[in-house]
Amino acid sequence: MLDIKFVRENPEIVKQNIRNKFQDQKLELVDKVIELDKKNREIKQEVEALRAEKNKFAKLIGNLMQQGKKEEAEEAKKKTMESDDRIKELTESEKEVEQELKKNMMVIPNIIDPSVPIGKDDTENVEIERFGEPVVPDFEIPYHIDIMESFNGIDLKTAREKVAGNGFYYLMGDIARLHSAVISYARDFMIDRGFTYCVPPFMIRSDVVSGVMSFAEMDAMMYKIEGEDLYLIGTSEHSMIGKFRDQTIPEADLPQTLTSYSPCFRKEKGAHGLEERGIYRIHQFEKQEMIVVCKPEDSPMWFDKLWQNTVDFFRSLDIPVRTLECCSGDLADLKVKSLDVEAWSPHQKKYFEVGSCSNLGDAQARRLQIRVAGENGKKYLAHTLNNTVVAPPRMLIAFLENNLNEDGSVNIPKALQPYMGGKTRIEKKVK
């Protein structure tokens, strides 16, 4: 959510930003919020004037009563009561105007960074850099489900037909162990980089949801708990940023760098849909996340550090990756800048997304009132950032395909071997 003062003073900048995001249907909101803001300020001014007048009459009434002028005092009291009625009326109106103003302000997108490429959707994202050599081996790389099934490592049929429905699965045996090993390694990888480990709540209240994401994202992603003001998290970033809600953090305590584990629950509502057989898009998965709360001037530096962490993590497991700068039309409304990390798929002979790094500027901090107390006593809004360390099962797809041998076995990179009981490879169970 933008600062209303910024919108009031820079309406054309706000409108051009909306055009750059190809959301022209929101242009009218800018004029609407400026008009609502004007009305809100006029109401406040009138209320202040009436209260000043009330104070003036209170003194007058006291003087008149002392002088024995009861009739004149009663007339003054009537005017005071009229002021009270008008103040009450204006206060109700003020509340309605402020609610309408906030509702519209929540929909206006954040101002994107000048470095963001202009484009309509993810097809216009820009490749920045590649890390590692993408290889297609001489032998055929099977579909990821076939690889997992060769280890007796996944049961889609039971999960989808008997237990939970499409978008769910059972991981079994070595594949389940590999899944847990990757999460544990990701935890220690981030701790070694100075991040504090955290296991957050897996449900959050609606006012936290609206503080960390847009209404459109919420509708497409979040599962609501029936009869409760609670939502299942779609990523631990939501509850992690919520941890700092209504806090004023001493400048000396910044940055706050946290890495969190959680299950994630997503509707996956929208154009992508769910696969009938694969596990690229599912309703439930686990993830290791990283978040940073920092001073505004430090957020570009932390943005670069965060995505580099993910690149380094995947390279430590012999998985080639590339980074893509997300274009304006692919940015969620609260984001200032975003970069995707994509892993190489030898089966598909292309890259696919495995992580997303985002700088949200002060948007989440403004909504959740996360402030910093500067050394000079001045308070200001913090900046918040987040990034995926790793999110199985997508990472498992990339891992299995890139470490598969011709005989069907899978190599375990050195970094992961301690988490797999010292195993250097896992062998096929199905001939």
Q: Give the CATH number for residue 49.
A: 1.10.287.40
Residue 127: give its domain's CATH number. Answer: 3.30.930.10
User: Of 178, 430, 213, which is closest to residue 317 (Cα–Cα)?
Assistant: 178
Supply the pLDDT for residue 86.
Answer: 86
- CA dist 126 → 118, 278, 324, 404 (Å): 10, 27, 5, 30
How would you write 35-88 as a 3-class SS string?
HHHHHHHHHHHHHHHHHHHHHHHHHHHHHHHHCCCHHHHHHHHHHHHHHHHHHH
> What is the β-pairing status of strands 321-325 and 203-204?
unpaired
Residues of the domain holding 143: 122-426
Q: Residue ranges of the chain with pLDDT lower than 70?
A: 57, 60-61, 64, 66, 73-74, 76, 269-276, 430-431
- Does residue 338 sit in the same domain as residue 409? yes
Q: Per the domain annotation, does 304 fall within a domain?
A: yes
Domain identity same for 215 and 362: yes
Look-up of token digits 């050394």: 375
Whether 99 and 131 map to the same domain: the answer is no
Q: What sign does the dihedral 361-385-342-128 (CA atoms) show?
A: positive
Q: What six digits make up the tokens of 2?
A: 């933008």
What token pair was written down for 398?
Answer: 């990339």
- 401-404 long-range CB contacts below 8 Å, 24 or more apart? 401/141, 401/144, 401/147, 401/345, 401/346, 401/347, 402/135, 402/318, 402/319, 402/320, 402/343, 402/344, 402/346, 403/317, 403/318, 404/137, 404/141, 404/147, 404/346
Cβ–Cβ < 8 Å for 183, 261: yes
pLDDT for the residue numbered 271: 46
**Final residue in a domain of this structure, among 43, 75, 105:** 105
Q: Are residues 262 and 410 in the same domain?
A: yes
pLDDT of residue 281: 86
Q: Which residues make beta-bridge pairs with 385?
A: 292, 359
pLDDT of residue 430: 67
Domain boundary among 75, 105, 135: 105
| pLDDT attached to residue 78 | 72
In a domain, 28, yes or no: yes
For residue 280, is it within any domain?
yes
Contact criterion met (CB below 8 Å) for 410 and 404: yes
Q: What is the pLDDT of residue 280?
A: 85
Contact in structure between 18 and 24 (CB atoms under 8 Å)? yes
| 294 domain-assigned | yes
What is the structure's pLDDT at 390?
97
Structure-block tokens of residue 14? 């706000």
Is the same domain home to 10 and 82? yes
Do 126 and 255 belong together in one domain? yes
d(CA 364, CA 370): 8
Residue 279 domain-assigned (yes or no): yes
What pTM was estimated for this model as a whole?
0.90
